[in-house]
Amino acid sequence: MIVLDPGHAPSIHAVDPRTGLDVSDYANEPEMRDVFAVAQIVRRELVAAGYRVVMTKRGVYDRVSLARRAQIANRVHAALALSIHDQAGYNGGIRFGQANSIVYYQSLGTYRASPDGRRTYFTDRQVAARSQRYGRIFRRQRALAERDGVRLQGNVGYNLGSRGLAAGNIWIVQLLSHVPWIYNEAGGNSAGRSGLNPADRHRYAAGLVAAVERCVPLSR
Ligand SMILES: [Zn+2]
């Protein structure tokens, strides 16, 4: 069972009752449409190969909080979950395959803080070890498909509080997940446009599919 998590939703405000974390999400176009399209390609190919696949969103404009996304993967005991993001747009957008190709895995000691300062840490040693192993596979397979250097990171690399998000250094969906969760970033602009063209959507998807097939091989 593989869970695919295409990034972003129309603005949704939510607080996780257990941790007090802000689990809101916000719309981001054209990223939201592009990464949903990439997820659909990945889903089609994985299903054709014999995987069971659950998406955290059924449509581009589903309002799904970050906590709900994690809950979906936890509930189905996914072997692996993956988020798909990119950075697109005329302002601050990054060319696909040229930068911002990043694979994040879950590691011990990362955290996010609630508005009142309560920290929730990622503490699952077994999931952390598996997530790191899967992260290496994603880096390799994405680099082959995207023909770009892909960075591997065990934390976000800066304090997300500096962006007005909950303070800390792990993505919320990864923190609240009980299963290995790989969070993917990429450049979001194809040559001469804001957003991804079909060729780049397929390149992004191809790396993700190849990685899933190596992380969670199907028994034949
Ligand atoms: Zn994003």
Q: How far is the CA of 146 from the centre of ligand 1 (A)?
A: 18
Q: What per-residue confidence (pLDDT) applies to 148? A: 79
> How confident is residue 147, by pLDDT bands cut at 50, 70 and 90?
confident
- CA of residue 219 to ligand 1 center, whole Å: 33
Ligand 1 centre to CA of 154 (Å) is 18
Query: Cα separation of 34 and 86, whole Å?
Result: 8
Cα 31 to middle of ligand 1, angstroms? 7
Q: What does the alpha-carbon distance between residue 124 and residue 179 come to, in Å, rounded to a whole number?
A: 9
CA of 18 to the centre of ligand 1 (A): 25
Partners of 4 in the β-ladder: 55, 82
CA 142 centroid distance within chain:
14
What's the mean pLDDT when you consider all of the chain?
96
Per residue in 117-137, pLDDT tens?
999 999 999 999 999 999 999
Instruction: Tell me 66's DSSP state.
Output: H
pLDDT at 220 over 70: no
Ligand 1 center to residue 78 CA distance, Å?
22
CA of 94 to the centre of ligand 1 (A): 12
- Alpha carbon of 87 to ligand 1 centroid (Å): 7
Q: What are phi and psi of 161, to 5 degrees?
A: -60, -25
Give the distance (Å) from ligand 1 centre to CA of residue 85.
Answer: 4
Cα–chain center distance at 78? 14
pLDDT (tens digit per residue) in 30-72: 999 999 999 999 999 999 999 999 999 999 999 999 999 999 9
Say how many Å lie between the CA of residue 11 and the centre of ligand 1. 13
CA 7 to ligand 1 centroid distance, Å? 5
